[in-house]
Amino acid sequence: MNQAHFPGGERPLYRLLSSTVNQYFQSTSLPRSGDIRLYRKALIIASLFVASFAGILLSEGALNIGFWALHGVATALVGFNIMHDGAHQSFSRSRRLNQLCAFTFNLIGSNRSYWSQKHNRNHHAFTNVDDVDEDIDALGLFRMSPHQKRYWFHRGQHIYVWLLYPLTSLFWFFVLDYKAYFRQKIGQKDFSHRLTVAEHAEFWASKVLYILLYLVLPASLPGEHNVLIGFLLMHAILGFLFAVVFQLAHVVDQAEFPQPAADGSMTSEWAEHQLRTTVDFATSSRVLTWALGGLNFQVEHHLFPRVSHVHYPRLHALLSETCRQQGLPIRSYPTLAQALKAHYRHLRSMGQPQSEPAARH
């Protein structure tokens, strides 16, 4: 199959949705980037991250395990609220501050260049497209798309998936990062550019620093630090949160899984593709919106990734009306519980013998 691509020319739906968003920012005179709400939240999360890491180094016994667990939550909050907006250049109007926020992904175990390719260029452009979007590629362990091969053990994937999700960040940071680095591609799509000498150095320096900070340093301190148990617990919490939050937006029974034609062309406009493959959830929950960095507003984020998540609740109402008028309403689950059930139903359906690709078109 040729490289996947969307039709060229005018994009009427995207132009219409962009007009709605532009009118909002013109009428409010607000910046598209984050504001004091985001900076205040980032300060709280960064403080929790630093304090919990200090607790890992300074405490012993059961309290030490507790700090490892807390640090797992804090790390997820950094990823959702600071790294994610920074990587999309939406945290601030300052390019350097955005780069600094994106660099936190190196600090928490991965690499910002890999994330940019995997998330910004592949996932956002070709959401739920098999062999391009790595977010739906579990190397055969799970069948997330109807276009993937079904194995006999997938009949139980809606059960065992919850036992494997805690391994997500470990597998991501210690396997997928290296796989992408040495292949210089994610899925079947090549990196958009060759890594520079500085990017190569950053990759290896960050990986070494992570091992030193989280394994070597705690193990070298006197006292009972439970390093290996704590490290695995931290990743179990981080991995589970990462996996569940991102899966609820795309691997659910309201989402579609379009495939390109033989020449690689997608059948719909990019904006329509996003509306068909992405689903919001729990948009009325202020607590979840705060903690998840607006990742419960995935449709708004996919359509306008360079707009900070602090604006998503208001944009949701405006875009919902515009999309409804076009006969392409924003798909959404009212609560977190309903989104979790939808993910469960989809995985169960994909594991059944009768789930054929034609059933999802």
Please check the confidence at residue 188 and state whether its pLDDT lies above 70: no
Q: What is the pLDDT of residues 62-91, one digit of tens each?
A: 999 999 999 999 999 999 999 999 999 999
Domain count, the chain: 1
In a domain, 168, yes or no: yes
Q: Average pLDDT, whole number, for the chain?
A: 92
In a domain, 95, yes or no: yes
> How many CB atoms are closer than 10 A to CB 238?
26
Q: Cα–Cα distances in Å, from 229 out to 39, 56, 61, 73, 214? A: 33, 12, 11, 16, 12
In a domain, 320, yes or no: yes
Query: 219 lies in which domain range?
Result: 14-352
Instruction: Look at the block and give the residue holding tokens 């007009």.
Output: 19
In a domain, 28, yes or no: yes
In a domain, 357, yes or no: no
> How many CB atoms are closer than 10 A to CB 219?
11
What tokens does 341 get? Answer: 């059930």
Amino acid 227 reads: V
Q: What is the pLDDT of residue 1?
A: 47
Q: Where are the alpha helices (DSSP H) in the chain?
A: 12-28, 36-58, 61-78, 84-87, 95-107, 112-115, 157-164, 168-171, 177-183, 197-211, 217-220, 227-250, 270-277, 286-291, 298-303, 312-325, 336-350
In a domain, 360, yes or no: no
Instruction: Look at the block and give the residue holding tokens 């939406």.
Output: 90
- Put simply, whether the predicted model's pTM sits higher than 0.85 gets the answer yes
Stretch 213-239: mean pLDDT: 93
Partners of 148 in the β-ladder: none
Q: What is the pLDDT of residues 263-321, one digit of tens each?
A: 888 989 999 999 999 999 999 999 999 999 999 999 999 999 999 999 999 999 999 99
